[in-house]
Amino acid sequence: MKRITGNVQGFVNAQTSTIGISFHLLKVAVIAVLMVASVVDLAARQRTEVDGQTESRLGGAAGSTMRPFTVADSIAMTHLADPAEHGQGHPQVSPDGKRFLIITERGILETNVREYTLFIYERLDESFKPARIITFKSSSNRPGISQAKWLDDENISILAENPGELPQVYAVRWRSREAKKLTSQPTGVAAYDVSANGRVVVYYGYWTGNEAEVKYKEDHGFAVSDQSLADLTTGNWRHPQWMYQMFIMDTASREVRLVHATPFQYIPQRLKLWVSPDGRYAVTEQPPSSVESEWANYEDPIVKRNTVELQGRVFKERRRVLQQAMILDTRSGELGPLFDAPLSSHHALNAVWGSDSKSVIVEGTLLPLNTSDESELTRRRKFPVIAEVSLPSHSFRRVTDIPEGQYWIIRSANRAHSFLIDAWKLEEGDVMTKIPTIEFRQEGSEWLREKEPADHTPASDIIVSEAVDHWPRLVKIDPVTHQEKVILDPNPELQTVSFGREEFVHWKGKRGEPLVGGLIYPTDYRAGTRCPLVIQTHGFNEQVFLPDGPFTTVFAAQELANRSVAVLQLGESPLYDATQGTLDWGPAQLSQVESAIDYLDERGLIDRERVGLVGFSITGFIVRYALENSKYKFAVATSAEGNDYGYWAYIADGNNLTWASQNEAPYGGAPWSGNLKSWMQSISFNYDKIRTPLRLESDSNDFGAVLNEWENFIALRRLHKPVELIYEAHGMHPVVKPWDRMTSQQGNVDWLLFWLKGEEDPDPAKAEQYNRWHELRKQQEANQTASAAAQ
């Protein structure tokens, strides 16, 4: 799958590399989370065309009444968590249609927590004065409030936690502002759903391992099987990460039953449940209990590859590398496959229940290959589907195939016997664009596609509106004039903060490929001057406001612009997916970086002797590849939590079978099978070519991410190259807690300014930092002197 939007794609890439997650698995997880409704017409963005290039004029030019935007400002910004920013979703409306809820989030630097608040708005009250219902504060990497749902007109369920607590399901009476805890899961709740009658709660609890077995292994030792090196070195083999079990709770009796299925490992963003209205069934996705050899006959390359890798293998706990639609009978507690087929690797499961609880519409699955009809078999091998499943018989019928190159998410419609589809299509130029909402309506036993679909969502005129030049706001769209009326501006204080003007730039790569990015000018830019430049790799999105960039690890675009540095946020190259997994991936991405420098230099905008390169997660590879192979000079570089496709990374996480095969792919196989020559091109054997001061960062030790940086750090240290490794023991990928963000983002701003401009923060608390860097500068100068003498 290619570029969805810069932000979505970038976030997905960020989640895949350092913790061994399937690239495609998390990609569709993010699509399911973010792409939940229609995108506002780009004309409403108030952009202007200048010399054939789209330019956005940022408000808040620097001046006597303005102050610089800082990392602290970014941390303190209030964000819309529900509906989600960047997804253009609608607020959740109460069943009677009279009110809607929103959830906000902001960081509090003083106490290192994130504050989440639930508000209720009266939908027909044009004054839009919210009622503040309840606030939770999170000191963990989890949100304080998430997964809010209307139970009825008076009650809302949420997943919530406060500092020192684990997440639990609460029922909130919005009029009285009272919250009643529904669950008391000792390990915490990761995801849940509640039946329409409020009687049944089905939820996922964290699994922390078999204590008796752990105790025996502690005392007697054990043979390593599928444990990772990270788990063995951190002790997480005792309590595996991202492992879950399913529970059923009767809210009347408070009885909780464990679903007796083996624990499984999964990505939190993909944990979803859909309980039938009467509470009898629940649909979800999980790893399959067994991998069928015939699944290798599907055309989906990820399904095919993982089937070949995993078939015939037996695991004590189910792993996340393949997914399957499952159904739970809450009466019997039995859990089993909804289809004898996997999900498509490009689609997350979504479901819409019939009002009678006797059928469910599911989207994103493949169909079983148990048909003798050759035409039908060809369709099933190729296309994921939307299908209706009748219960308890499990008989199914296809509603429609999902076309190749399109990505669909189904949702309920506000009229009976109908459902809606939000859809995106891959267009020329590697961009995913929104296409009109699709509606299917049931007539008799058939599902028919409506020629003129209607979105009957009560709050379809209320959206999260944002642009590259304005932070997200909740607005109401006038149906006639299409003008926006602001319901909530969560950050009015930013009106007095200076932002660098952002320009959409287009250029050609060295291979002739069309490229795009966002160039942020320094706030004090004067025509005719050449500025230092920082290139932030991947994740540009011309439709959203990104003060830092698409991630909160190391990226700090507007913060640098306020320090007289230009920043280029790269979009994904059209060669990104085409070359990934091959030896050509590095050269293809280097073409993007080098051609960007040439383009901006030719325009007279930058000082090409003062260029910095910043990468996060999977594009950490691009940074290190550029430092080793480019003839261009980089004054400074940062790579945070980055995969490098090196020998050590391959060995360190080689017990993850799909990770191992992913890392072998660029070299044609394992390094001992006649592929040693291609492996010699990897970073592991070329550190001596790096001449740029490099900052490395590891933030998520729960997954042993520091192991990924260790080879880079030690190799460069042994070569007496200027290198720094920043280690945050309890961060996330990307970091979210205020102190973690300050260490990552502000630390990188200081690092870049030190090497690009020779600037130092006079704060006495940072004296030790600059003492280290002065020693690194001496190393750099000594290396440059030695290199000049050798030449």
- pLDDT tens by residue, 698-718: 987 655 678 889 999 999 999
CA-nearest of 342, 286, 344 to 317 is: 286
pLDDT at 602 exceeding the cut of 90: yes
pLDDT at residue number 54: 34
Residues 516/604, Cβ–Cβ less than 8 Å: no
Displacement of CA 372 from its chain's centroid (Å): 40
Q: Report residue 52 as tokens.
A: 């054939």
CA distance readout (Å), 88 to 2, 35, 484: 20, 7, 14
381's enclosing H/E stretch is helix 374-382
Picking from 738, 773, 607, the residue whose alpha carbon sits closest to that of residue 141 is: 738
Between CA 610 and CA 617, with CA 613 as vertex, the angle to 5 degrees is 170
253-311 pLDDT, tens digit each: 999 999 988 899 888 888 999 999 999 999 999 999 888 899 999 999 889 988 988 88
What residues have CB less than 8 Å from 331, skipping those under 6 apart?
A: 280
636-640/694-698 β-pairing = parallel
What CATH number was assigned to the domain covering residues 500-790?
3.40.50.1820
| Predicted confidence band of residue 16 (pLDDT cuts 50, 70, 90) | very low
Contact 453, 436 (CB under 8 A): yes
Q: What percent of the chain has pLDDT over 70?
A: 90
Query: Residue 617 has which token pair?
Result: 């997660």
- Residue in this structure with the two tokens 């990226």, named with its chain if needed: 555
**Straight-line distance from the first to the last Cα atom of the chain, in angstroms, rounded to the nearest whole number:** 46
User: What SS3 state is found at 23?
Assistant: helix
| Cis status of the peptide bond prior to 342, with omega within 30 of 0 | no
Q: Which helix (H) or strand (E) holds 27?
A: helix 23-34
Helix (H) or strand (E) segment spanning residue 598: helix 585-602
Asked whether the predicted pLDDT for residue 35 surpasses 70, the reply is no
Q: In this predicted structure, what is the pLDDT of residue 229?
A: 87
Q: How is residue 194 written in tokens?
A: 């509640």
Q: What is the pLDDT of residues 491-523, one digit of tens each?
A: 999 999 999 999 999 999 999 999 999 999 999
Q: Which residues of 227-252 are buried (b: 16+ CB within 10 A; e: fewer)?
A: ebbbbeebebbbbbbbbbbbbbbebe
Tell me the average pLDDT across 153-157. 96
Of 456, 431, 427, 360, the C-alpha closest to 399 is: 360
Compute the distance between CA of residue 770 and CA of residue 761 in angstroms, rounded to an integer: 9
- 441-455, 512-526, 652-666, 688-702: which is most confident: 512-526
Longest dimension (CA), the chain: 85
Query: In a 3-state reduction of DSSP, which class is residue 99?
Result: strand
Q: Residue 103 and residue 84: Cα distance in Å, rounded?
A: 9
Asked if residue 606 lies in contact with residue 532, where contact means CB atoms within 8 angstroms, the answer is yes
pTM > 0.95: yes or no: no
C-alpha distances (whole Å) from 423 to each of 25, 274, 436 are 19, 21, 7
Domain residue ranges in the chain = 461-490, 500-790
Residue 298's pLDDT is 97
Q: What are phi and psi of 29, to 5 degrees?
A: -60, -45
Asked if residues 615 and 568 have their Cβ atoms less than 8 Å apart, the reply is no
Q: Is residue 407 a contact partner of residue 424, using CB atoms and an 8 Å limit?
A: yes
CB-CB contact of 684 with 666 (8 Å): no
Whether 722 has a pLDDT exceeding 60, the answer reads: yes
DSSP assignment of 668-718, as one string? TS-TTTT-HHHHTTSGGG-GGG--S-EEEEE--GGGTTHHHHHHHHHHHHH
DSSP per-residue letters across 480-547: TT--EEEEE-S-GGGGGEE---EEEEEEE-TTS-EEEEEEEPPTT--TT--EEEEEEPS---TTS--S
